Amino acid sequence: MSPRGTLYVANAQQLGALNEFASLPDVAAGTRQLEASAAHALSPCLRGDYVAAALYEPDACDLDVHALHQGYLRRLRDRGGKVVNNAGVTALRRRDGAWIITTDAGTFSARTIINAAGAWVDEIAVLAGAAPIGIQPLRRTAFMVDAPTNSDADRWPMTIDIDEQFYFKPDAGRLLLSPADETPSTPCDAWPEDMDIAIAVDRIEQATTLSITHVQQKWAGLRSFVEDRSPVVGYDPKVEDFFWIAALGGYGIQTAPAVGRLAALLLRHQPVADDMLELGLDISSIAPQRFAS
């Protein structure tokens, strides 16, 4: 991780939303309120007449997602694990207390299945005879533009509209922009829509002095939620040896170390660690049991 900081900005119509967010106990503990001039000093591309107030979270960090991913892969291989790609699961059945898993790359057997199929978790559940949890994939778009010349843009915080209408942040010498869209989608290889990029450009140009003429790279992905927008982690209440790690929404990367550690404990029927309980984790709020009718 490397220090970045996050600046939540509000215009005059959004002060209520900013105050409401700022008063949440865990937000209040990690943030401080800023006047418009102080917000402008941190993120100088903001228009002076746009920002009415802001909230700054100094301890927010950039995460090296590639390094994190490679680290997990390395540790898996070090422990004798094997990654099998292009192995779409097409059937699941139980035989003699074990799962038989039919895939495009052959047949596997396992005592326990961990359903971590992202937007596709309900499809896997149906194959296993488990009840779907109502996963809803939501498309989110992001794209890169040049940072303004002669600026210190690499030092700007991540800047987020308090109603999540847009965000931007420095990324390897350029700026990453998003309209923070949440468009319902079926499970698929998501693709960025020109309209979502145009919306982001419009919103960000209204809030900042950035003039966006050239989009260099664009992509979209799915963030998958259940109705209460909390993760789903734990054994299925009805189907034996079927474990869910699902609905990680927009935070599956930054929560991966904690969710992974929690899942490892629950999979082995061990108690939740004290430090997690002290942080306020209520296991029933993420249990798959909450969907059982």
Ligand X SMILES: Cc1cc2nc3c(=O)[nH]c(=O)nc-3n(C[C@H](O)[C@H](O)[C@H](O)COP(=O)(O)OP(=O)(O)OC[C@H]3O[C@@H](n4cnc5c(N)ncnc54)[C@H](O)[C@@H]3O)c2cc1C
Note the residues at the interface with ligand X (CB under 6 A). 87-89, 116-120, 124, 140, 142, 221, 223, 248-254
Q: Least distance (Å) from ligand X to the CB of residue 47?
A: 25
Q: How far is CA 226 from CA 44, 66, 238, in A?
A: 37, 27, 19
Residue closer to ligand X, measured from CB, 221 or 288:
221
Q: Least distance (Å) from ligand X to the CB of residue 75?
A: 16
Residue closer to ligand X, measured from CB, 53 or 177:
177
Q: Least distance (Å) from ligand X to the CB of residue 124?
A: 6
Q: Which residue has the tokens 């309120």?
A: 33
Strands of the chain, DSSP E: 2-3, 6-10, 32-35, 53-57, 61-62, 89-95, 98-103, 106-110, 113-115, 136-146, 158-161, 167-171, 174-178, 183-184, 217-225, 232-235, 242-246
Residue closer to ligand X, measured from CB, 6 or 43:
6
Strands of 186-246, DSSP E: 217-225, 232-235, 242-246
Q: Least distance (Å) from ligand X to the CB of residue 185?
A: 11
Quickly count: other Cβ atoms within 10 Å of residue 8's Cβ.
Answer: 28
Residue closer to ligand X, measured from CB, 7 or 124:
124
Q: Least distance (Å) from ligand X to the CB of residue 209?
A: 25
Q: How far apart are CA 114 and CA 225, in angstroms?
A: 18
CA torsion 230→235→238→241, rounded to 10°?
Answer: 150
DSSP 147: P
Residue closer to ligand X, measured from CB, 53 or 89:
89
SS3 state of residue 50? coil
Residue closer to ligand X, measured from CB, 142 or 212:
142
Q: How far is CA 109 from CA 85, 89, 112, 212, 243, in A?
A: 16, 12, 9, 52, 15
Residue closer to ligand X, measured from CB, 124 or 201:
124
Structure tokens at 59: 């301890």
Q: Least distance (Å) from ligand X to the CB of residue 238?
A: 21
Q: Least distance (Å) from ligand X to the CB of residue 28?
A: 22
